[in-house]
Structure 1
């Protein structure tokens, strides 16, 4: 039986209206179907793709708890002509460190461990740590491991397990008197082992329980499953002879050769998941119904812990607990306010939260052999373009 012409007409009209709504990017954005984009950011990062600096870039900007920009430019895999998508996953390398420090802080809040406890309380081998062949007058503390001032040096790779790695790190000769200098180190691997000893759980399982599950970070993992692996962007490096980008390999994030979760460098994630984490930090430890930390603990993690000690990786920085802290914004950090905190990764990834302007900047790329990814022009151009666009909008 056919409907009357009037009913059909009304149905067709309704269908056409719905089609217009969902075909219109502007209207669709308002309904949450598409993330908004800042064209100035796309232009800034596109230049680096066209210049063959990187194969592809995902950028996300958070302001006042809302995603105000999310975009993907370039390719996830050039050889397969695979476009990069906003939901692509990346090996975030050392951006793992702040997440490890935050998980550790949950145990401090519970009174199960202290920041100034000797590491040897949990890894007994550290009682024999030596500098120039002599035992230390004062024991290495967990706080020093979190701030890269413990005197540790060498590879940040996990060997077999964190238990084995912790023992091996204790046997390495110290590079300087703990607490007197800053040198990027495997200190967060020590903290990861302390997490295991204090909690009685494997490090990876603890992070899943304390961070990823409550924040619904469903695409953050030490070992992507089969579906997630299909979304992982390919790692590229500049060929030394030709100067062209070529597919590369690294132990960082390699879950085949380095299967044990690495607290310093092991995570894979995507832009939206990282935005959840930094939104929680900007909120003072909360995200929705999930309470990860108190505001006091967030403040402790992200305040200057290193005093007058000169730290890396760009001028004007100090160090918190697992986080780099911007003290005097300049050059690549010029778009950030004093007190901004975050971390970079070996493959050019960056995540920075600005508590003054209530913003977070997420930059995801897979490019090896950046001379200093924290000081990259890509990072500077992205942050500057985003900040200028948002500042101009807010001043209207």
Structure 2
């Protein structure tokens, strides 16, 4: 009887996959490919999710969330999704825009006085530097599109804060506001964690709410993202995948040198929520968020954003600024990277696909043309997490029928 039920379940899963317009045989390749990467120590473990037409077609786990303790990776393992957090901060900003509480084109200094009178630091041919005011101050939209002129990460007295998380958001952003701009706002693209952190502080100033509470109450809780958070609760810690790197051909656990510090310390004592990289999440939770975006701002009959706001966020904001994006063939919208011209690792993506990755190898892409979502979850701090991403993204796209 048990065998008969198991066979029936397999037939049902295959039938759904076919009705979703995905090739079931192709999707079955994902887990063995990931297992190969585990066995040759390319990755400690991974979780993969592919969904179409609002339904998860495949959800697979391979390898280990804790290599030393031999704790297996499971489909509900929790990952530090790092810069994928930027999308949540961006959606929070757009919610406030729709409520008439802030404007994208207004100067950042209208909301954060510490950003008044910023100067551009220009390096002269003789090696000296000179300061001069920008033609126009940076705007909220330029923070979202990484064209504000702000540098990437803090230096000086707060250089260690992305690792220690010791300084609260308001204090950190006051420091960021005193930093010189690197170029005329709107003329170049430079990925800026400080800029996204400033957006998190704008949310606090405009709403009077703590940033973490705002994201939890307006997005995470209503979307049913029960395993998504900034600071790990004790009950969730055992499911968190630890972060690894390669050393002498083997996987070893990363330590305090990485963003947010040693993953096995679970951010103990942290005060900084990191609107630019602070979230933990799971593949199933991220599916809920991405499905909301794919459905034009609606999930389970609840509207979070208008279709117009999603369109605004997910089209290239500065088409005249090049390059603008991490990967070849992409441009940058308002906290999202968008595929303009499929090439390289994005070769099988449809134009208009949008998404984001994280520093430890997590990645998610939403393809409106094919109504397709692909999520890849891995934890590697040395920049080698592209292998599972390529497997999941390429097989997922090629499975479309």
The TM-score by the shorter chain falls in which range?
0.7 to 0.9
Q: Secondary structure at the match of 1:367?
A: coil
SS of residue in 1 equivalent to 2:103: coil
Distance 2:14 2:94 in 1: 37
- The answer as to 2:192 corresponding to 1:182 is no
Distance in 1, Cα, partners of 2:190 & 2:93: 21
Name 1:26's counterpart in structure 2. Answer: 10
Which of 370, 386, 390 is equivalent to 1:357?
370
Supply the distance in 2 between the matched residues of 1:185 and 1:120 (Cα, whole angstroms).
17
1:116 is the counterpart of 2:105: yes
For structure 1, list consecutive stretches of 5 or more residues without a partner in the other structure: 1-15
Report if the CA contact (8 A) 2:166-2:271 is conserved: no
Q: Which residue of 2 aligns with 1:203?
A: 211
Counterparts of 1:1-396 in structure 2, within 5 Å, are 16=1, 20-21=4-5, 25-26=9-10, 29=13, 38-132=27-121, 133-155=131-153, 157=162, 160-186=167-193, 187-239=195-247, 242-249=248-255, 250-252=258-260, 255-256=267-268, 258-309=270-321, 310-370=323-383, 376-388=386-398, 390-391=399-400, 394=401
- Secondary structure of 1:230's partner? helix
Contact 1:96 1:267 in 2 (8 A): yes
How many residues are treated as equivalent by the alignment?
367
Distance (Å, rounded) in 2 between the aligned partners of 1:22 and 1:231:
27
CA distance in 1, matches of 2:3, 2:15: 14
SS in structure 1 of the partner of residue 50 of structure 2: strand
Larger radius of gyration: 1
Instruction: Answer with 330-339 or 191-200: which moved more.
Output: 330-339
Q: Normalised by the size of structure 1, how large is the TM-score?
A: 0.88
Report SS of the residue matched to 2:245: strand
* Pair 335,104 (structure 1): closer, same or farther in 2 beyond 3 Å: same
**For residues 329 and 135 of structure 1, what CA distance do their matches in structure 2 show?**
39
Gaps of 5+ in 2: 17-23, 122-130, 155-161
Change (3 A) 1:25 1:78: farther
The offset of 1:64, in angstroms, is 0.8
Q: CA RMSD in A?
A: 2.0
TM-score (norm 2): 0.87
**Conserved 8 A contact 1:118-1:141:** yes
- Write the distance in 1 (CA, Å) between the matches of 2:12 and 2:69: 30
Deviation at 1:381, TM superposition (A): 2.4
- Alpha-carbon offset, residue 23 of structure 1: 7.4
- The structure-2 alpha-carbon separation of the partners of 1:275 and 1:305, relative to structure 1 and needing over 3 Å to count, comes to same
Deviations 1:115-160 (A, max 9, x none): 1111001110111211122222311100010001111114263662
Alpha carbons of structure 1 residues 19 and 28: separation in structure 2 relative to 1, 3 Å: farther
CA distance in 2, matches of 1:321, 1:121: 19
